Amino acid sequence: MTTPNPSGCRHCGLDERGHMQHWTTEAGWHPWTQPTQQQIKARMRARRNKEPHMTDNQPIPCGESGCLCYGVGEEHADHACGCDCPREEDDQ
């Protein structure tokens, strides 16, 4: 499940733009409603604590001290440090 936008609807988490009327079990049919300050804070914390999204050629720690291997997700195409990446050994 994705983390709702911090300013998403109080009841369903959808963004205001494009929300129109939406139905949930708890609130039924409802318009976009401003979230509470507590919801905004909780959503911001949840988003910050989520694991970073992996993108092409983004440096990611491979487990070796001070090492950053480059790859896509769990697949490491290029070892910038020349190490034997433990993640690749786990995949075999």
Residue for token pair 């369903």: 12
Cβ neighbour number for residue 33 with a 10 Å cutoff: 14
Residue 41: the pLDDT is 94
Instruction: Please check whether residues 65 and 30 belong to one and the same domain.
Output: no
Higher-scoring residue by pLDDT: 23, 82: 23
Instruction: Please check whether residues 6 and 34 belong to one and the same domain.
Output: yes
pLDDT digits (tens, 9 = 90+) for 5-42: 899 999 888 898 888 888 888 888 888 899 999 999 99
74: pLDDT strictly greater than 60 = no
Q: 62 lies in which domain range?
A: 58-91
Instruction: Please check whether residues 20 and 42 belong to one and the same domain.
Output: yes
Collect all residues with Cβ–Cβ distance below 8 Å to 91 and sequence separation of at least 6: 74
Instruction: Please check whether residues 21 and 66 belong to one and the same domain.
Output: no
Asked if 46 and 23 count as a contact pair (C-beta separation under 8 A), the reply is no
Per-residue pLDDT averaged across 64-88, rounded? 53
